[in-house]
């Protein structure tokens, strides 16, 4: 909750490359990572980690939230006492497919599923966009999940912060040449809202795309606190702090500008206005 000092959180940044097209193998990798790092309060996996990021095959790899792959992760999360956010292609109602993030709490329960709102490029031809943002209670915190392109817009993160989130988490499948875009946007979303931000991206090459890693933890001041490699898989533990509000002059959520009308000023012939 904003304005209060919350306990620090130990977060596992699972910057991995999935096995393309094999959700159960990828779920087993998540389970192994959770078992290997039982001190983690929260583990974050990349976007579409269970299926891989091959849009041509995503519909055929879409899973129900009760799929055995997600149940395996739930059991592992409960055994480790670690909450998890895991990207997957979700089979929705009426044949729809969503780019989704499963939110599993530290007792192994599937708490909710977030569906990506801002679809990128060819994703629009494959997935149906989500229609809501979520603040999800995980590991004792109010966690605001975002998926990749969602983070590149200020509005979703601001809405989540105003709704009471105390931690922004972005799971990404960001590829070349967009490394710098996400490095800047990830820091900006933390600074915009004076919230810590956990950003986890994948690595590897799939479907002709090179994924650029760079997972990181950013403090509420926009400073990078933990930085993962750009081109190598890693399982990185990081402590996320939840400090008291700092300088009131830059506590932005207390000073959100009102929406003002925009007036177009037209030039007058002769140069005067």
User: What is the per-residue pLDDT for 4?
Assistant: 44
How distant is the alpha carbon of residue 267 from its chain centre? 45
Q: Find the catalytic residue in 10, 90, 128, 148.
A: 148
- Give residues with Cβ within 8 angstroms of 141, minimum separation 6: 6, 9, 42, 166, 167, 242
Q: Which CATH superfamily is domain 9-246 in?
A: Carbon-nitrogen hydrolase (3.60.110.10)
Is 183 part of the annotated catalytic residue set? no
Rounded to an integer, what distance in angstroms lies between the CA atom of residue 2 and that of residue 241? Answer: 13
Out of 47, 90, 123, 183, the active site residue is: 47
Assign 257 a pLDDT band (cuts: 50, 70, 90).
confident
The whole model's pTM is what? 0.93
Helix (H, G, I), strand (E, B) or coil at 89: strand
pLDDT for 170-208, tens place per residue?
A: 999 999 999 999 999 999 999 999 999 999 999 999 999
Name the pLDDT band for 121 (thresholds 50, 70, 90).
Answer: very high
Q: Write down the mean pLDDT value for the chain.
A: 94
Q: Dig out the tokens for 131 from the structure.
A: 């229609």
Model pLDDT, residue 1: 32
Looking at 10, 90, 116, 128, which residue is catalytic? 116
Alpha helices in the chain (DSSP H): 23-36, 68-80, 154-162, 179-193
Give pairs for 183-188: CB < 8 Å, separation 24+.
183/214, 183/216, 185/151, 185/152, 186/151, 186/216, 186/218, 187/218, 187/222, 187/223, 187/224, 188/154, 188/222
Residues paired with 126 in a beta bridge: none
Those residues whose C-beta lies under 8 Å from the C-beta of residue 121, and which sit 6 or more positions away, are none
- Per-residue pLDDT tens for 70-101? 999 999 999 999 999 999 999 999 999 999 99
Catalytic annotation present for 47: yes
Residue extents of the structural domains in the chain: 9-246
Q: Is 174 exposed, middle or buried (0-12, 13-18, 19+ CB in 10 A)?
A: buried
């Amino acid at each position: 909750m904003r304005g209060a000092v919350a306990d620090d959180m130990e977060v596992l940044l699972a910057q991995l490359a999935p096995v393309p097209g094999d959700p159960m193998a990828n779920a087993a990798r998540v389970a192994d990572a959770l078992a290997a790092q039982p001190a983690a309060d929260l583990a974050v996996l990349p976007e579409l980690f269970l299926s891989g990021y091959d849009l041509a095959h995503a519909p055929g790899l879409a899973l129900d939230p009760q799929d055995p792959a997600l149940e395996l992760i739930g059991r592992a999360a409960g055994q480790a006492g670690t909450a998890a956010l895991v990207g997957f292609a979700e089979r929705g109602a009426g044949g729809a497919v969503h780019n989704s993030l499963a939110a599993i709490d530290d007792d192994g329960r599937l708490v909710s599923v977030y569906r990506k709102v801002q679809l990128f490029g060819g994703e629009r031809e494959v997935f149906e966009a989500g229609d809501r943002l979520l603040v999800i209670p995980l590991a004792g915190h109010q966690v605001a999940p975002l998926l990749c392109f969602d983070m590149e817009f200020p509005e979703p993160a601001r809405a989540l912060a105003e709704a009471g989130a105390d931690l922004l988490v972005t799971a990404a499948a960001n590829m070349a040449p967009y490394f710098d875009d996400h490095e800047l946007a990830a820091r900006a979303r933390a600074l915009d809202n004076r919230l810590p931000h956990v950003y986890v991206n994948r690595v590897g090459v799939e479907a002709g795309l090179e994924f650029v890693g760079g997972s990181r933890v950013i403090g509420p001041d926009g400073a990078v606190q933990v930085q993962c490699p750009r081109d190598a898989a890693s399982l990185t533990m990081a402590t996320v702090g939840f400090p008291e509000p700092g300088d009131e002059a830059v506590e932005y959520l207390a000073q959100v500008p009102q929406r003002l009308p925009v007036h177009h000023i037209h030039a007058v012939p002769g140069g005067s206005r």
